[in-house]
Amino acid sequence: MNQAKTFFLMVVLTILFVAIGSMIGGRSGAYVAFLIAVVMNFVSYWFCDRIVLAMYRAKQVSENEAPQLYAIVASLAQKAFIPMPKVYIIENDSPNAFATGRDPAHGVVAATTGILRILSRDELEGVLAHEISHIKHRDILIQSVAATLAGAITMLGNIARFTAIFGGSSSDDDEGGNIVSVIIFSMIAALAAMLIQLAISRSREYLADDGGARLSGNPLFLSGALRKLHAGVARTPMSDAHPSTAPLFIVNPFSAKGVMSLFSTHPPIEERIKRLEDMAHRR
């Protein structure tokens, strides 16, 4: 269900992107917009792992430097039938972890010092199984493309509003809409793109929870970890986290309460825990 939902949402993002490009410059505008998206996707695909690791000053560690962390990742990678990911540690008291890398052959798992301090070995295995599941199913690529398309839609929406207000819109083979319709549609499209990106991120989190629970062999490993991580992040949020990288982490590094939870990159923690506990009871 979540796989189909992700595919549908990606299609909607693409349609919105092409529609705004057409609004700016007709068919030619759509082609230019598509070219911009291709370039942006190329950059995010090839360099996303290096960028995010540099942002958090992550340090690659060897088996001798982090024997337990390394051993768990190696065991899970073997069970998942993927190459051994590189292992990184981030000096940060906020408990969290993420995976990156453009494909399983270039996978990376990063954990903060905070998460290594508060989780038991079983709970850490549950978290790392979740991240290995992300790598196995190429979620980093999907989320990178979704983020790039959403960002491009927002950028094109701004261009469309500027063009409509100050220069009108022209096309080589069809007419653009009137100024009011252009402004309204571009604003709605930008908001829709953001919400769709968040929905894709939440869908992939559910899938990774499910895959990680199966990989570790016990859904309660991950559910127990999520409880601790939720409380830990509430006590010690990651103050230097960047919003664009939030979907990578296993729990939202920011605090999202009330109406802002609608714009969270992650599903409600209570729902994730409930799903995992229901899975354990069905075993």
Give dist(CA 175, CA 178) in Å, integer. Answer: 9
Helical H runs in the chain? 2-55, 67-80, 113-118, 121-136, 139-166, 179-216, 219-235, 269-282
User: 108 phi and psi, to 5 degrees?
Assistant: -135, 135
Q: How remote is the C-alpha of 178 from its chain's centroid? A: 36
Amino acid in the structure at residue 122? D
Q: Is 88 helix (H, G, I), strand (E, B) or coil?
A: strand
User: Among 63, 91, 125, 131, which one carries the catalytic annotation?
Assistant: 131
171-206 CB burial, b ≥16 within 10 A, e <16: beeeebbeeeebbebbeebbeebeebbbbbbbbbbb
Residue 271 a catalytic site member: no
CA distances, 112 to each of 97, 121, 134, 140, 193 (Å): 6, 15, 18, 19, 31
* Residue 137 DSSP label: T
Cβ atoms < 10 Å from Cβ of 57: 11
Q: Among positive and negative, which fits the CA dihedral 233, 237, 241, 245?
A: positive
Residues noted as catalytic: 131
